[in-house]
A = this chain, B = another copy of it.
Amino acid sequence: VPQAAAMLETFPATMNVDRGLLAAAIEACLDCSQVCTACADACLSEDDPASMVKCVRDDLDCADICTTTMRVLSRHTGYDADPAGRHVRPRLTRAQLTACIAACTACADSCAEHADHHEHCRICAETCRRCVNACQELLDSIS
């Protein structure tokens, strides 16, 4: 069981963000980073790798961006640095969430085209859609 939510409860300073939405986005990015890495490799093992090239590439971009977004969201130090108690790094967090939504959307679209015949693409498309939704909800809450 992922410990992201449990770790959020232990953070020793104030956080001006909904912890439920934040935990959901962290866990969605974490899961998506693994699924996209595995999907890229499964695509390369299919009988016709040439037909999967776009899918592999979108998987690799999405895996990297999800890993980094998960890490940025897992750091909260900046939030408690503002004397007024407000969110102090909305610009960076919003920009990385926006990039993550773009990457997951592109990857979900690519994988969806193969979902009928490749089970790994079906799971990957669904995982990417969940990540889009979780990141969008968090983004809406801090905008």
Residues of A within 8 A of B (CB): 2-4, 6-13, 26, 30-31, 33-35, 37-42, 44-50, 53-54, 56-58, 60-61, 63-65, 67-68, 70-72, 74-78, 80-81, 89, 91-92, 95-96, 98-99, 102-103, 106, 118-120, 123-124, 127
Contact = CB atoms under 8 A, between A and B. Distances in A.
Nearest to A58: B78
Contacts of A95: 95, 98-99, 102-103
A142 to B, nearest CB: 14
Most buried by B among A50, A63, A75, A98: A75
A102 to B, nearest CB: 4
A92 B61 CA distance: 9
29 contacts: A3-B35, A6-B123, A7-B35, A7-B42, A10-B118, A11-B38, A11-B45, A11-B120, A12-B42, A34-B70, A37-B74, A41-B75, A41-B76, A44-B57, A53-B77, A54-B78, A56-B77, A60-B71, A61-B71, A61-B72, A61-B75, A63-B71, A65-B68, A92-B99, A92-B102, A95-B99, A95-B102, A96-B103, A98-B99
